[in-house]
Structure 1
Amino acid sequence: MTGKRQQAREKNRLTLIEAVLDSVAEKGISETSVSEIIQRAGLSRGMIHLHFGGKDNLLNEAVKHSSEEYYQGLYALLNAAGDTGQERIEMIVRGDLSEEVLNRRNVSIWYAFRGEARNRAAIAAYSDTRDAKLRNMVHDAFSRIAQEAGAAEAADIARDATHGTLAMLEGMWTDYLLHPDIFDREESVRVVFRFLSALFPKHFGVNGAIANGRSKRVDG
């Protein structure tokens, strides 16, 4: 396959995936028909079978693509963050609640796919609240913080901090889904760090970077 043909193939593939995601965001999965997809993509019906073998595989690739985009953005933020566990947690929290990540399109896509996760393993693999990739990333940072704090039960505290932080972030996403017009991003960030200040007062409390305003902002 020539370079131009390969580029055209990848372009058509991505166009179909984006058409699916746009439709899911606006209409939900049940209304995302083949006709809806090809109308949005401006491509023929046969293109779906050529590139994906059918609508189900296209949906699977769409949720995978959405997940990969999330992590690409997260990795970019972490590359810009400092090396300490505290700086990495700050960037993850602020990034996850930023307008770039938490917006009407993304939250609609996320919860639409979550609704299908129980019956479709391929979708569940990319829409799990216990996603190992994110959980390990957060847990690693909290483990470093707990050790720096000299916590007697560092392993247990890191585990609980990970579980609690991810649960709060998901709760904020749900709150945004239900009340997008009155959702307060800064208040949400503050709530998460107030919880963390109880566990790690030296890192997130009155003497930490949060209170002193040295945190990096990523939401403009």
Structure 2
Amino acid sequence: MQATTKSAPAGTMPARPRKERSENAARRRGQLIAATTKSIVENGLARTTLATVSAASGLSQGVAVFYFANKEKLFAEVLRHHYELYERLWVSALAQAGDDPVRQLAALIRADFDPAACNQEALIVWYAFWGEAKARPRYAEISDIHDSRHSDAIRAACARLLIEVGRSQEEADALGAGIEALTDGLWHRIYLSHGTMSAREGLRLAARFVANIFPERGERLSAEILGTAQEA
């Protein structure tokens, strides 16, 4: 018996293949996330609305509602997207560092001041959301999930380096927390400087302080953080 192919009813368009629909959905979601980011940078979080997102994206408010249901869910996805970009950056840097704890710690610190993560637009978005995290549990939840993974990576690198230099691993938690407080504080200073303090300057300050935390490997650690280490 010969197989027959169903055709679309007269006057209607044939259904798009599933892959094409999925790609279109991903593209539109990406457009909306990028447009929301742009609006937050230009207008702030409080003044970003579905109308400003629609204007920035060229898509209707109805499209935004279709993909994200409401503004709050869209905002949550923007925050998640920024964390995912940042996480891919430091995870990749850590993977390239190999098994050397000096390079691992240096890679994590250097990633924090990479222009892809530490620039005025990105910092505006970070601080817009962090300022609302206490009042909006969803933002805090997303932040906690991603921040905890980064904290674990910093502590693990510190623990490995402590073992290498013959110090107690019990210092790892305190040193990891201190390094994160340092980089967070430098991000804050860069953000408030409105462009007068560069990410490179922040990196130099971080290198100086972290080298003092591990004087046994201070010179090499500083060189690795600053990217001036010589290949063996």
TM-score normalized by structure 2?
Answer: 0.84
String of CA shifts for 1:72-106, please: whole Å, max 9, x gaps. Answer: 11112222223212101111111211222100110
In structure 2, the partner of 1:175 is: 189
Given that 1:142 and 1:162 are in contact with CA atoms closer than 8 Å, whether structure 2 keeps it comes out as yes
Q: Which runs of 5+ in 2 are unaligned?
A: 1-16
C-alpha distance in 2 between matches for 1:25 and 1:209: 35
String of CA shifts for 1:110-130, please: whole Å, max 9, x gaps. Answer: 000011101111111233599
User: Does 2:135 match 1:119?
Assistant: yes
Choose the corresponding residue for 1:70, options 81, 86, 91.
Answer: 86
Larger radius of gyration: 2
Counterpart residue identity of residue 13, structure 1: R
User: Does 2:176 match 1:159?
Assistant: no
User: Does 2:14 match 1:4?
Assistant: no
Q: Which runs of 5+ in 1 are unaligned?
A: none
Q: Which runs of at least 4 in structure 1 moved beyond 6 Å after TM superposition?
A: none
Change (3 A) 1:216 1:183: closer
In structure 1, the partner of 2:47 is: 31
C-alpha distance in 2 between matches for 1:119 and 1:29: 13
Deviation at 1:27, TM superposition (A): 1.4
* Aligned 1:13-92 pairs, distance under 5 A: 13-92=29-108
Change (3 A) 1:11 1:135: same
Change (3 A) 1:7 1:95: same
SS in structure 1 opposite 2:157? helix
In structure 2, the partner of 1:189 is: 203
**Larger CA deviation: 75-84 vs 4-13:** 75-84
Deviation at 1:177, TM superposition (A): 0.8
Change (3 A) 1:27 1:129: farther
- Taking only aligned residues, the RMSD between alpha carbons, in angstroms, comes to 2.1
Given that 1:24 and 1:109 are in contact with CA atoms closer than 8 Å, whether structure 2 keeps it comes out as yes
C-alpha distance in 2 between matches for 1:217 and 1:197: 14
User: Does 2:192 match 1:200?
Assistant: no
String of CA shifts for 1:162-211, please: whole Å, max 9, x gaps. Answer: 011000100111101111432144443233233233332122x24x343x
Given that 1:143 and 1:158 are in contact with CA atoms closer than 8 Å, whether structure 2 keeps it comes out as yes
C-alpha distance in 2 between matches for 1:167 and 1:130: 16
User: Does 2:232 match 1:217?
Assistant: no
C-alpha distance in 1 between matches for 2:132 and 2:114: 26
Change (3 A) 1:217 1:26: farther
Given that 2:29 and 2:67 are in contact with CA atoms closer than 8 Å, whether structure 1 keeps it comes out as yes
SS in structure 1 opposite 2:131? helix
C-alpha distance in 1 between matches for 2:202 and 2:25: 42
**Larger CA deviation: 194-203 vs 62-71:** 194-203
How many residues align? The count is 212
Deviation at 1:215, TM superposition (A): 5.1
C-alpha distance in 2 between matches for 1:37 and 1:214: 41
